[in-house]
Structure 1
Amino acid sequence: MPKSLLKSLMLIATLGLSACAASHENVTREDGIFDPYEVNNRKVHEFNLGLDRALVRPTAIGFSTVLPDVVEDGIGNFATNVGLPGVMVNSLLQGNLERTGLAFSRLFINTIFGFGGVMDVATAFEIPEADTDFGETLYVWGAEEGPYVELPFLGPATQRAAVGKFVDLFTNPIAYVLESPYNYFGTGADIGRRLSDRGRFSDTVDSILYESSDSYAQLRLIYLQNRRFQLGEEAGGPEIDPFALETEGF
């Protein structure tokens, strides 16, 4: 990774860390939800719902219907494998050498013996999954969660997670090793994986987005419960992200 880019990323992270660490008094509700931008968030939510209804949902259902399960699994495995170098970078930044080793082991085994990661051979070898992101790195560094936000195209996040999503666009070393267009294969596979998830879990996602009395509040609660559970902060809620098309977008 070029030194100039690394310095820029560290500057962005520092600014994000400072922003997340800013104090907010008398705004966190008793249920642990901090949503001072709710009015604007709901407008973005309506935009995301319209996009899902008009484009993402029908595309995802068609995608999942046409492709055999084994192909969908292969796309998901490949996307996960391509993302492992980024997991390694964030694990190192967090000082988590065990997860760094797991990510490297899975990357090596699945790339060599799993046809570039299309097959998940590492799981068959009982090597645990390894996943993290820069939002978790900020959490480890002491950044506060910050307010809840819903991002256009990307869906639910917190201020800390939103900064993490942006930085993660630049932390995967593969983007600097492979030349165009090969460095975009991972992005394409990730979009395919998220379309597959949206199609496969269509009934559950639809019940949240289109059948609940307040889909915004429901989605916010599910996201915050899941994210905090991932970080070890509290017990988790239903394990589903209706707006899985994050970057990590539609």
Structure 2
Amino acid sequence: MKQALNSLLHGVRLLAVAGLLAACATAENHYDPIEPVNRVTDGLNNLVDKVAMKPVTATYRAITPLPVQRSISNFYDNWAYPNTVLNDFLQGKGRQGVQDLGRFLVNSTIGIAGLFDVASSMGLEKHEEDFGQTLAVWGVPRLAYIVYPFLGPNSLRKTPDLVTSTLTNGLFWVSLAVAPPAALTLTALRYIDLRSRAMSATDMRDELALDPYVFTREAWFQAREHLIHDGATSGESDGWGDDDRWDDEDWSETPAETLAVAAAPSRAHGAIGVDGASPARAEVGQQAPVSRQGRVRLYHVILTSHAVYAEALRQQVALRKLRIATRIEAVTIHGRRWYRVQLPDPLPIEKAARMLDEMKRRTGLAGAWIAPAQSP
């Protein structure tokens, strides 16, 4: 629960920094194969939150002074910190592991059982590692997204961390040794504290998102990628990958219908371009294939492509101000996920080429390009 709420909070912050000022658009997500089930669970979680957790948390925030809230958060973070230390070493981060062990010992002693974060003032930086990140470092690929009842967003790759984070938490063992009422009080206060930290983020999500489920899912995935790569981003470009291949069984090329498509620069830019867009690609002299049944192959007009969902949303908002309707499509190329801002409907290649020229003229996005739609 702690990791899920922290990931959601961090992901929403990423989206806010990116300048998200309008509603979300739904993107295709290949890592959410049980989306209908997840949506039901998410709805039940939101109902419980609305009826119970949010009112209780609002009362807690109203009557508890901020310094006390901060100390409570420090206390729970400190006793959960051995999980970070363990996964430091499992990921081969020996130096960081020693530093994090020192941080835990300092805050547990000088910081009075973790109520005060003395270690940060001593230069011992706080890190966040978990077994889900460790599995990613070990080469386990991204697995399906899943929403657990009462626990919230997660994935099959991160699920084993529910065990390791529990067994390495000192309060878990304390709760086994004390009377049940005391253990229940510790647990209840922990979840109220976690909900309090996420209050501003979830309020913003509910206010801005047309589809809060998609917003939460994409924010969660972006936060996980940020943690797994220690804040680094991949520079891999979005090109013509496996997802864009033509099916030779369904399509053949007709030389008479050959149409040259203007080559795009290596980077999208212009009046409303967004920094961080991946290099755009276009094919020159591409032939317009038709099916053996005489159907003309259709093409998408893609304006920009981004490694971060928030940037795609920001680009979509900018285009909306120019009265250009778009949709965001998630594609996976060479194992990396990209978010394409493209026109809603695919077109025959002649119309797609004309529309491409018009979009470049209207938007200044010289890096726009076209790509064949998937075969029906």
- Pick from 40, 43, 61: which aligns with 2:58? 61
Tell me the distance in 2 between the aligned counterparts of 1:231 and 1:43.
28
* Superposition TM-score, scaled by structure 2 size: 0.50
Q: In the TM superposition, what whole-angstrom CA distance separates every residue of 1:138-193 from its partner, at most 9, and x where no partner exists?
A: 11221111011111111111111122223322234664588612995875563243
Secondary structure of 2:32 counterpart: coil
Q: How far 1:209 moved relative to its partner? A: 3.2
- Pick from 108, 126, 129: which aligns with 2:105? 108
Amino acid at match of 2:223: N
Tell me the distance in 2 between the aligned counterparts of 1:192 and 1:173.
19
Q: How far 1:79 moved relative to its partner? A: 0.8
Tell me the distance in 2 between the aligned counterparts of 1:174 and 1:52.
24
Does 2:72 correspond to 1:83? no
Q: How far 1:55 moved relative to its partner? A: 0.9
If each structure's strand is expressed as a fraction of its own residues, which one has the higher value? 2
More deviation, 148-157/204-213: 204-213
Q: How far 1:135 moved relative to its partner? A: 1.0
- Max radius of gyration: which structure? 2
Which residue in the other structure is 1:247 paired with?
A: none
Runs of 4+ aligned residues of structure 1 deviating over 3 Å after TM superposition are 30-33, 171-179, 182-190, 233-238
More deviation, 141-150/174-183: 174-183
Pick closer, same or farther for the CA change 1:148–1:97 going to 2, 3 Å. Answer: same
Pick closer, same or farther for the CA change 1:151–1:48 going to 2, 3 Å. Answer: same
2:100–2:124 Cα contact (<8 Å) kept = no
Which residue in the other structure is 1:190 paired with?
A: 190
Tell me the distance in 2 between the aligned counterparts of 1:86 and 1:155.
20
* Superposition TM-score, scaled by structure 1 size: 0.73
Tell me the distance in 2 between the aligned counterparts of 1:146 and 1:228.
13
Structure 1: gaps (5+ residues):
1-29, 239-250
Q: How far 1:207 moved relative to its partner? A: 3.2
Q: How far 1:90 moved relative to its partner? A: 1.9
Pick closer, same or farther for the CA change 1:192–1:42 going to 2, 3 Å. Answer: closer
Which residue in the other structure is 1:149 paired with?
A: 146
Give % identity. Answer: 26
2:83–2:164 Cα contact (<8 Å) kept = no
Which residue in the other structure is 1:130 paired with?
A: 127
If each structure's helix is expressed as a fraction of its own residues, which one has the higher value? 1
Alignment of 1:148-187 (within 5 A): 148-172=145-169, 175-176=172-173, 180-181=177-178, 184=183, 187=187
Structure 2: gaps (5+ residues):
1-26, 234-306, 311-376
Does 2:49 correspond to 1:52? yes
More deviation, 170-179/74-83: 170-179
